[in-house]
Amino acid sequence: MAEILQVFTIARHLMAPESLPWSPLLLPTNVQRLRERYKFAELTNAASGSPIVTNQLVASGGEYQCGETIQPIQQLIVEPNVIQFQVGADSDKADVFYRNFIEFLGGLDSKVPLKEYTRTYQTISVVKLDVPFEAMFSEGMRHFLSNSVPPRLTLSDAEPEIRFGHLVWQVFYKTETTDYVYTPKLLTIEPRSGSKLSDHVYYVQTPTDFRMHMELLEQFERALGTHEPKVALQVKKRAR
């Protein structure tokens, strides 16, 4: 049964040209209001690291209220027609921040209608699964790694120890429209760095919202796990 230890969401919202109140947003007074509203530790220009003077606003180390809890904002990037952010929560809670931020933008210039073209999600989780790492390899690959590789990597004073590292795919999207394109996203399933192999703790990134992320984890366990997973997936609260 999948046990979520940590979860993060990266959301990217593509807006119509001239939709965002870009010029009002960059006014010093409104920049300060933005910093105070979300308690950002840093708010700079991404290209130069200087105060905000160009076409990309980058803030980090903030927080927002979500129901009765406070959720972290790792990063917020705003461009003239893009809103992108990463929060330490699932996609439903990420939507809470987005609606709150849109409310803030609407207060800067209510005459400009905020129109969204499309949005994408990426969900990142650290999760414990009923899947041993070696199950991700074919019998031929396991034989190759355990029998053929080690003798050829041995040093005069050291024996090799082969551990599973990174496993990443790129996901590309083809659209019928030429109005916009989706940037490639990552699909990652690999051991969590620093964890014991016997713990079966994975770092997983999917170009999906949290619900679909969990469905993929369930299918992953079903395909490679040591037994059939339960339908209900347990989510462990992150320590604050």
| Mean pLDDT (whole number) for 32-54 | 75
pLDDT band at 166 (very low <50, low <70, confident <90, very high): confident
Classify each residue of 141-171 as buried b or exposed e, where b means 16 or more C-beta atoms within 10 Å of its C-beta.
eeeeeeeeeeeeeeeeeeeeeeeeeeeeeee
Residues 6+ apart with CB under 8 A from 104: 33, 34, 37
> Residue 206: what residue type?
T
Lowest mean pLDDT among 63-72, 85-94, 102-111: 102-111
Question: Tokens for 2?
Answer: 């999948």
What pTM did the predictor assign? 0.84
DSSP state of 158: B
